[in-house]
Structure 1
Amino acid sequence: MKQLIIAIALSGVLVSCNSSGKNKKETDASSATETVTDSTTTKTNYVAIDTEEALIATSLMAAPAASRDGCTVIGYNSEGEFVTYKEGNNEFIVLADDPNNQGFSAACYHKSMEPFMARGRELRAEGKTGPEIFDIREEEAKSGKLDMGKPGATLHIYYGPKDTYDPETHKVEGAKYRYVVYLPFATAESTGLPENPVSPNHPWIMNPGTHRAHIMISPLADEKE
């Protein structure tokens, strides 16, 4: 009789263990399903930058976050006209992405650089080539005719190969940042910087010894790359 009672008790324990194991598997499977569902629902839905509001919002991503509300925004519209999209009240000017060009490229620069930037736009409108624009501004900067802005003025570039964005965050799909610090007529010797990039995100000096000398800081490559 005692042996029969022990056998029944052991049988109950085994059934309980099997049931518990089954429940755990069901719970794990349920969790896995929830994880898959969550990853699917959180996928970003990028849309085309097809309104003026979207163009301004995405272009402002080139500016430091704390300063975006006060930036002036200028640029070419879809008709090719150069317009002021937004009047600002701080030290930054944002050059909006050109909707007629593929991909995305917006820039934010210190307002002291506007004479230099505006002169470039003027010369391009006259049909001058890149090398011609460089030579003209070089001569004008050396003579003092062209104001190059404050030494150390920075240009922020937000760019990428696509022209779709997240309407909630205004981030452009695949876009990255590059920073340019202008130091007219600086050299490798005066700054201690190399004249060629050493590695991603490493500063180097471009166009040394000229009016357009500037420190380049390129983005780190994506981990998936």
Structure 2
Amino acid sequence: MKKTFFSLIALSLTLEVSAQNIPSADVQIKTAVLAAPSDKQAGAQVYGYAADGAFTIIRNGTNDFVCLADDPKKEDISVSCYQKDLDAFMERGRVLSKEGKNAKAIFDTREKEVKDGSLLMPKQPSTLYVLSGSKDNYDVATGALKNSYLRYVIYIPFATAESTGLPLKPDMPWIMDPGTHRAHIMINPAKP
């Protein structure tokens, strides 16, 4: 009986601490959409974290953009937004990650599924924006992030260096994962 009682106390304290670390939905939304182009921010769908830590939609969208709130379990701030045609690809990655798959297994599974047609990738180039910054520069009460860094990824499935004219090494821009389902142009602006 004592063991059960203390286990329940520990569990409730863990849930309480988790809930305290998760910003309000409004703050999560404000921070998440910082990664989107300004004309896409107001209508973007936003995934974030409920008070119990569950990853869920916290705002329905009215345009073609999806944004992801910062993961409160991670040390620094990282939010991203992407064109909604990438959502199935992104969601499949989240599901495989939750199943405990490592990065190679996720890549290989999605590659196979794209090739066999069970996972659809956009037919046109589609952009992902990733905004990152230090927790020291983040105001959890307002969602403001100072001194952030924004990089861009343009997915072009199965593109190669030859089909794009882009280098394979980190020049600006360059192509990563050429010839695969996850081929994408990396654009990393110089940091200030």
TM-score normalised by structure 2 residue count: 0.82
Question: What CA distance in whole angstroms lies between the structure 2 residues aligned with 1:120 and 1:50?
Answer: 24
Pick from 118, 121, 133 the counterpart of residue 148 of structure 1.
121
% identical equivalent positions: 47
Larger Rg: 1
Question: Structure 1 or 2: larger strand share?
Answer: 2
Note if contact 1:78-1:98 (Cα within 8 Å) is conserved in structure 2.
no
Structure 2 match to 1:126: 99
Deviations 1:90-146, CA, capped at 9 Å, x for gaps: 000001111121111111011111110111111111111110000010111111111
Is 2:182 the counterpart of 1:216? no
> How many residues are matched?
171
Q: Secondary structure at the match of 2:58?
A: strand
Residue type of the alignment partner of 1:181: I
Pick from 172, 183, 204 the counterpart of residue 174 of structure 2.
204
Structure 2 unaligned spans of 5+: 1-20
C-alpha deviation, 1:53, in angstroms: 1.7
Structure 2 match to 1:52: 25
1:74-223 equivalences in 2 (<5 Å):
74-77=47-50, 79-162=52-135, 164-165=138-139, 170-198=143-171, 202-222=172-192
Q: Which 4+ runs in 1 deviate beyond 2 A? A: 48-52, 75-80, 165-168
Question: What CA distance in whole angstroms lies between the structure 1 residues aligned with 2:35 and 2:191?
Answer: 18
Question: What CA distance in whole angstroms lies between the structure 2 residues aligned with 1:212 and 1:121?
Answer: 15
C-alpha deviation, 1:49, in angstroms: 8.2
Question: What CA distance in whole angstroms lies between the structure 2 residues aligned with 1:78 and 1:204?
Answer: 40
C-alpha deviation, 1:152, in angstroms: 0.7
Question: What CA distance in whole angstroms lies between the structure 1 residues aligned with 2:103 and 2:42?
Answer: 33
Pick from 43, 49, 61 the counterpart of residue 34 of structure 2.
61
Residue type of the alignment partner of 2:103: G
Question: What CA distance in whole angstroms lies between the structure 2 residues aligned with 1:137 and 1:75?
Answer: 23
C-alpha deviation, 1:166, in angstroms: 8.8
Structure 1 unaligned spans of 5+: 1-47
Question: Structure 1 or 2: larger helix share?
Answer: 1
Note if contact 1:116-1:149 (Cα within 8 Å) is conserved in structure 2.
no
1:29-48 equivalences in 2 (<5 Å):
none
